[in-house]
Structure 1
Amino acid sequence: PLVGIVIACILTLAFALNSEARESYVADPFRWTDIALIPWFLLNNPLGRLLLIGFSVTIFAGEYQYRTWKTILPSNPRWIMMLVKYVAMSGFIVIALTVTSFIVVAFIGFMNLIVGAPYPPTLNINTLSDFLQDYLLNASVLFFATLVVVGIGILISIITRSVLIGIIAGVFISFIEFLGIPALLAIAAGILREEWIRKLIVFV
């Protein structure tokens, strides 16, 4: 939320100082339906994934090392506590990103009000219905894709009992996912000079 607020403040100041930029923005302002999805799209960004992986791995690997929950709740199996933590962490992330979406939309709207720009599209039942469908679809796809990568990083950190190794593994998987298998095969084909790798790219 703080990043969105800072960006909105910087843009407001920039538009206040530059009349040409302000007029250009007023003619083609941000759409609140697009702004609301920005926090979720950050999950598909390597930096956003890195922050989330670091947060998640620290929670799980750190607890596994220091046995915090096991000490507080000694009668519960560890796997149940880990599952509860995973669900709680997922819920926390969903709530945090949803709240961030509303905050960023509100502050960009406040910025538009200051510079005299409209804030399309007009809010009505049809617009809200379409937005909610699009929002839930994009948020679900991005969130569950991220949970897979985070889950792998958590699993590796628990097995190795190392926060650092879990983060490195999660970042490596995110990097592979970001580049895509065809791109990695193309790099390998260029380095190894193997024709069969080039042919494999076509099938992938």
Structure 2
Amino acid sequence: MTDASFWDKVAPKYALSPIGNPQAYEYTLDRTRSYLKNTDQVLEMGCGTGSTALLLASSVDHLTATDISPAMIAIAKGKPTPQTNITFAVQDAVPEGRKYDAVLAFNLFHLVPEMENRFRQIHAALPEGGYFISKSACLRGGLKGIGFAILLPMLRAMGKAPYVRRFTATALEQAITAAGFDIVESGNHPGIARYVVARKRAS
């Protein structure tokens, strides 16, 4: 089973799932809005069923929201919204030849085998000083990390989990920095979810 087909399969249930920690979710939404301008062209990668994209679209000029799962994108397109400045599309990598003022990716990079390559693509799509804002599950280290190390291979073998990459918050931020970004803000919101705001470094 490919990762896209896994997410297609779980999309209806995923769409009905409540937000795990509403307070942390609202906090990171507000922090993200503080870096966006109403003139910005924004890309959100791994948008799922589009809930976050729809909430952020009013803060920018246009938001392109992408996901590898056609079923997720179909649900996103079917949601009622007053927003007319948002485009949903099935896409894995950063669209070639496009430029954005900010790139967002929430709860995505622990699901991406070639995370570092994605960071380089994002860097290329941003102007100097452009923002890359992400939240990633850091699943290596501590008792939870040990539990994930044991359970994830078993669940994936049974078709009940997608590919999951385990890394620490330090390793995540080192990879972002190595791709040409400076970390502006970071923190855990909540627990193992590392929120990172990075700015494209001056060349």
Larger % of helix: which?
Answer: 1
More strand by share: 2
Please tell me whether Structure 1 or Structure 2 has the larger radius of gyration of its CA atoms: 1
What TM bracket, shorter-length normalisation? Answer: under 0.3
TM-score (norm 2): 0.20
Q: TM-score, normalised by structure 1?
A: 0.20
More relative contact order, 1 or 2 (CA 8 Å, 6+ apart):
1
